[in-house]
């Protein structure tokens, strides 16, 4: 049986070896971004939202969202495409499901060896309803507008871990009005 000192020494050697391997590999990354590149990403977010109705009453709820975005780089800086999403909303006295689809565009203003930073805008058609789509909460549809800052850290030449920080504004036919500040985490593939 190995002593604790020898186990600790072997563990430290392993950590140093893995760290050196990661550092040496890090120097080989050159992001695959430019005209003709497709970005396919998917991720999720958690947020707290406030909703106000025409009477000015505000209620708060939690939201969990999953979304995918596919964009095509038309230049080194501009990418256009679309997004598809699903959201689950939970308030103290109800829960809702939402689906969204629509066009998006991104402008990337900083690119380096492992980093890509930019801004993202989108507009989606959104459907929102409770679990049976016909009870007292009913169903609503409308538009959702997004504006976000984005950052991608490249793990390889074609795979990045990304984060978005943004603002989302939604309005529906029931004249409800929702807004949120959000952050999301996603994986992105640059093909």
Residue 76 CA, chain-centre distance (Å), reads: 21
**Is residue 26 situated within a structural domain?**
no
Task: Look at the chain and report how many structural domains it folds into.
Answer: 1
pLDDT of residue 24: 44
**Is residue 6 situated within a structural domain?**
no
Distance CA 178, CA 93 (A): 17
Instruction: Identify the burial level of 70 via C-beta atoms within 10 angstroms of its C-beta, where 0-12 means exposed, 13-18 middle and 19 or more buried.
Output: middle
pLDDT one-digit tens code per residue, 126-176? 887 776 655 445 557 788 888 999 999 999 989 999 999 988 887 766 556
**Is residue 148 situated within a structural domain?**
yes
Domain CATH code at residue 93: 2.40.160.20
The pTM assigned to this predicted structure is 0.72
Least confident of 23-27, 40-44, 97-101, 109-113: 23-27
**Is residue 4 situated within a structural domain?**
no
**Is residue 116 situated within a structural domain?**
yes
**Is residue 106 situated within a structural domain?**
yes
Domain residues for 183?
A: 31-190
Task: Please report how many Cα atoms fall inside a 13 Å half-sphere around the Cα of residue 61, on the Cβ side.
Answer: 19
**Is residue 112 situated within a structural domain?**
yes
Distance CA 1, CA 5 (A): 12
Percent of the chain having pLDDT more than 70?
Answer: 71
pLDDT of 25 higher than 60: no
**Is residue 19 situated within a structural domain?**
no
For residue 185, how many other CB atoms are within 10 A of its CB? 12
């Amino acid at each position: 049986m190995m002593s604790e000192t020898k186990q600790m020494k072997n563990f430290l050697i392993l950590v140093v070896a893995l760290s050196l391997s990661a550092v040496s590999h890090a120097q080989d990354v050159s992001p695959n971004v430019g005209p003709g590149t497709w970005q396919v990403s998917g991720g999720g977010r958690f947020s707290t939202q406030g909703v106000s109705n025409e009477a000015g009453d505000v209620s708060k709820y939690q939201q969990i969202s999953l979304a995918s975005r596919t964009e095509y780089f038309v230049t080194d800086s501009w990418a256009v495409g679309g997004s598809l999403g699903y959201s689950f909303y939970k308030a103290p006295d109800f829960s809702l499901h939402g689906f969204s689809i629509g066009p998006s565009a991104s402008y990337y203003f900083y690119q380096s060896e492992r980093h890509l930073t930019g801004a993202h805008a989108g507009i989606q058609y959104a459907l929102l309803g409770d679990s049976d789509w016909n009870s007292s909460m009913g169903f609503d549809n409308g538009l959702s507008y997004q504006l976000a800052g984005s950052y991608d850290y490249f793990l390889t030449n074609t795979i990045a871990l990304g984060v978005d920080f943004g603002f989302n504004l939604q309005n529906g036919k029931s004249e409800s009005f929702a807004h949120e500040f959000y952050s999301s985490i996603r994986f992105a593939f640059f093909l």
